[in-house]
Every structure is written in structure tokens, then in C-alpha cells.
Amino acid sequence: MRILVTGGAGFIGVSVVRALVAAGHEVRVLDALLPAVHPAGRAPVLPPGVDFRRGDVRDAAAVEGALAGVDAVCHQAAMVGLGLDLDDAPQYVGCNDLGTAVVLAAMARTGVRRLVLAGSMVVYGEGRYRCARHGEVAPGPRRPADLDAGRFEPPCPVCDAPLRPDLVAESAPADPRNVYAVTKLAQEHLAAAWARACGGAVLTLRYHNVYGPGMPRDTPYAGVASLFRSALARGEAPRVFEDGGQRRDFVHVEDVAAANLAALAAV
């Protein structure tokens, strides 16, 4: 297949591109090389034969040109991280939701009917917790008084008892709790609306803390593993917040790339 990878010059996108090329696909990349991700304004080294085009997914003409002759789209382009405050909301909505809408509209016009969307686990919100008395519950925001007292785990919203964290199932209801999470969920809804309207097929992969070679260093997106490693390399103790009992799931970027290949085959 000939596959367009939006955001294909990013950390995850590059790995997806390499996996696609290794599997024998023709690959075209559309990437704006935004300064937040590419401070030098240069694309990374991509495999030979990859058709790289610099362009923003919010630019309808650039997107439609990149879709010419394409069989499927692997939509990785997005603004990542949680932002500092609500002043960042327009950028997140512009890059993630407007950009996705432009891509979907161009796919509808050009007849491209297969899409794999890079989603995020942040759409699940706080996670899954269970109370011994009330069963599965959704805790509210943590209270400043509890944090000041060193009580970092959220209590049961019904009886205030301690909760037991549990695995989040794929079928768990969405509960986005920040602007980034809202935009990622909106991407999914936009893609579903496109599929229904056009008879297309879409599969969303909800990534969870991706790490691996090429990971950006010392950025919020890099995650705790990279930040800890950088601190140790400087001869410093890693900075640990709260009680250090937090837990995270991590997935290797090559496994994410393999998942994208499987998703493309499924659609």
C-alpha cells in the first residue's frame, strides 16, 4: 500500500515510517516540523524512498496534495503534552481537532477510506479505582488539604475510604480531565463521524507513555524514564514528587509501530 503518515517526522512517526518501509509499503510523510518538536527545523533521517513533504495538517491544500494516490492514512500529527494553562487551549484544539478535521475532509474529497488514528490513554481520565464497600468508583480531583497532609491517593467519593487502583479496560468510559485529553477524544469522535458519513474504516490506538530510541530528552512528553536517566547522567538524584509510589505503564515505540502495522491491516 501507499500510506500517508502525518507527523511522520516525530518521535513515534519516524518509528512507524521505518516499520512501514520494512514491511514493503510505500510511505509519504507530511510534517510541519513545528519548533516545539524540531527546534532546528530539520526533518530526521528517514529511510530511502520515503516521500517527505513539509506541511501543516491545518493546510487543506497541503493535505490534499499529500493524499494523491494514497491508499490509507496513519494520522500521528498532534500537539502533545498537557500544556501550562488554558491559554494553550487554542493551540491544542487547532493542531489536534482542526487539523484532524482538515485531514478527514480531504480524505472524503479524495476517496481515501482507511485511517489509523493515534489516540491516547488520557481519554480515560483518572483511571480505575475500586472501593471495598461501593465497588468501582470514579474519584474526583484530589483535595489540597489531603495533598498538604501527605495523603496522595484519592479517596472513595461516596464514603471517603481508601481505594484500590485497578487495571483500566478498553471498554472503560471516557473521562477526559484536561484540554489535551478533550482534544484527543474529539479526534476519535470526528474520525467516527467521517467513517459513518463516507463508509470509511478507522481504528484508534490509545497510546500509553511511549518510550524508546529517538525519544525527546528533558521534555514533558519524554516521561519520567528519560528525565530520571538525564538526572543520573548529570550525577544528580532524580527528582521524585509526592511519595514516589506512583505507577505508570510504558510501551516501547517499536511496539507502537508494530501496532500501527496491524491496525492498517485491520482497516
Closest by CA to 117, choosing from 82, 72, 80, 175, is 72
- Residue 263: count other Cβ atoms within 10 Å of its Cβ: 20
Sign of CA dihedral 160, 165, 168, 169: negative
Return the H-helix or E-strand segment holding 135. Answer: strand 135-137
Closest by CA to 211, choosing from 223, 196, 193, is 223
**Separation CA 214–CA 265 (nearest Å):** 26
Instruction: Note if 180 is an active site residue.
Output: yes
Catalytic annotation, pick one of 92, 124, 129, 180: 180
> Which positions ≥6 away from 258 have C-beta within 8 Å?
19
Catalytic residue list: 180
